[in-house]
Amino acid sequence: MSFKPANNIQDLQYFGEFGGVNPSISDSSTYTFLSAKTMMDTFEGNTDGCHLYSRHTTPSNLYLGEALAAMEGTETANVTASGMGAITPVLMQLCGAGDHIVSSRTIYGGTYAFLKNFAPRFNIKTSFVDITKLDVVEAAITPNTKVLYCESVSNPLLEVADIKGLAAIAKKHNLQLIVDNTFSPLSISPTQFGADIVIHSLTKFINGSSDTVGGVVCGSQEFINELRSVNDGACMLLGATMDSLRAASVLKNLRTLHLRIQQHSKNAMYLAEKFENLGLKTVYPGLESHPSHKIFKEMINEQYGFGGMLTVDVGSLDKANALMELMQDKNLGYLAVSLGFYKTLFSAPGSSTSSEISEEEQKEMGLSDGLIRFSIGLDADIERTYDIMKTCMKEINVI
C-alpha cells in the first residue's frame, strides 16, 4: 500500500481543553507537579505525559511534532526554533570529536557553513561529495564516519538524492542517513526509502506564510528522547526551542499543506515546461531533461507533484539582477530569499543563500552567477504570470 502522508495528518484528532476544534495553546514556560516525587521522576525521564519546563517539551510543541511525525512516518518528532536549530543539534548529538560526516556538496549554505567552518572546531570533519554518484559517496566513508547527510532535493541546484541507494550504503556501513526534506514535503517521504532521520525547515513550505522560522527533527522515539535528555541532549542543552504560540500557528498552516503543494507543483511544472520551450536553461525535477527525473519519479507520492522549486540560468549576474528587479516591479513576486510563500520568491543563490560556498567550489558544483532560484507561488492564473514573465525576459534580452 502506498504511503499517504496527508491522510496521516488528517487522521489525528485533537480537541482543545473546552472542546475547541483546535488544541489549547500551552501558555506557560513551566509546569506544576502535584507531588515532589513526580517532579523528581520527571527529571529522571520516568514520567510519561508530564511536562517540566518548556525548553524540554510543551503540549503545543508535542501536537505539532506528532503531526509532522505522522507526515514523515516516524515514531515521533521534536520541533525546534528554526531549521538550523534542528540540523545542528542532530549532528552534534550523533557526532563527537574525531567523527566524520559524508555530506552532499550541494546543500543549503547555512548547513554547508556549519559543516565546513563550525563543526571542525569540535574536530568533526566532513567530506563533501556529489551525492548523485553512489560509488563516490561510498568511497568517501572512513572508519570514523557516523553520518550520511543530504537534502532530498538540494538547495539550490535541485539535485535529487537516491534515498534508497544511500540508505543501503548507510546500512552497510552502520551510518545514520539524515535527509533534509525541506524542498519536497509530501512529494517525497524519505523514511519509506530507508532514511533514519528526516529534518525540515518549517520556515518554508510547511508553514507557508513566511511569518516565522521553525524546524523539526523526525525520528525514532529513542533518538528524540536522546535529543531531549536533560543531561546530554543537544536540543535540550543548545536551546533552540520553538515557542508554543508559534507551534500552534504552524500546526494550523500544516493542515492546508497538501492543497498548497499541489498548486505550487502545478504552477512550477507549467512554468518549467514553458521556460524550457523558450530555450532557457531550466532545471526542474519534473522535466524529463532533469538528470534525476526518474529517481524522483520512483520516490514520488504522485498527487503532490515535483514541488515548487525551479532554477533558470540567464547567463550572468547582471542579467539575473535586472530580471529579478523587473519581475518585482511587475508584481510577479518578490526579490527575496526563502521559499514556500503564496507569492513567487526569487533570488540569485550564488550571491545570497549559497554565498557561504567559495566561488571556486560554486563553480565545481555547477552553481553559476546567472542562476535564479524560483520558489513558485500559488498564483491562481499561472498563464497570465507566464505571459508577463516572458515580456520581462524579452526586455532584459534573456530570450
**Binding positions for ligand PLP, rule: CB under 6 A:** 82-84, 108, 110-111, 151, 155, 180, 182-183, 201, 203, 213, 215, 353
For ligand PLP, the closer CB: 200 or 319: 200
From the CB of 338, what's the least distance to ligand PLP, in Å?
6
Nearer to ligand PLP, 206 or 271 (CB): 206
Positive or negative, the Cα torsion across 85, 12, 58, 47? negative
SS3 37: helix
Give the DSSP per-residue string, 206-221.
TT-SSS---EEEEE-H
Least separation in angstroms between residue 284's CB and ligand PLP is 17
Closest to ligand PLP by CB, 114 vs 386, is 114
Q: Which is nearer to ligand PLP, 203 or 368 (CB)?
A: 203
Task: Tell me which residue of 227, 201, 228 sits closest to 214, measured CA to CA.
Answer: 201
Whether residue 156 is preceded by a cis peptide bond, meaning omega within 30 degrees of 0, is: yes
CB of 350 to ligand PLP, least distance (A): 15
Q: Which is nearer to ligand PLP, 340 or 370 (CB)?
A: 340
C-alpha span between 154 and 291 (Å, rounded): 13
CB of residue 125 to ligand PLP, shortest distance in Å:
21
Question: Which residue, 84 or 141, has its beta carbon nearer to ligand PLP?
Answer: 84
Long-range contacts at 331-337 (CB < 8 A, ≥ 24 apart): 332/385, 332/388, 332/389, 332/392, 333/374, 333/377
Residue nearest ligand PLP by beta-carbon distance:
83
CA nearest neighbour of 336 among 344, 347, 328: 347
Q: What is the smallest separation between the CB atom of 11 and ligand PLP, expressed in angstroms?
A: 27
Q: Which helix H or strand E contains 9, and what residues bound it?
A: helix 5-10
Least distance in Å: CB of 111 to ligand PLP? 6
Q: Specify the DSSP element, H or E, that contains 69.
A: helix 59-72
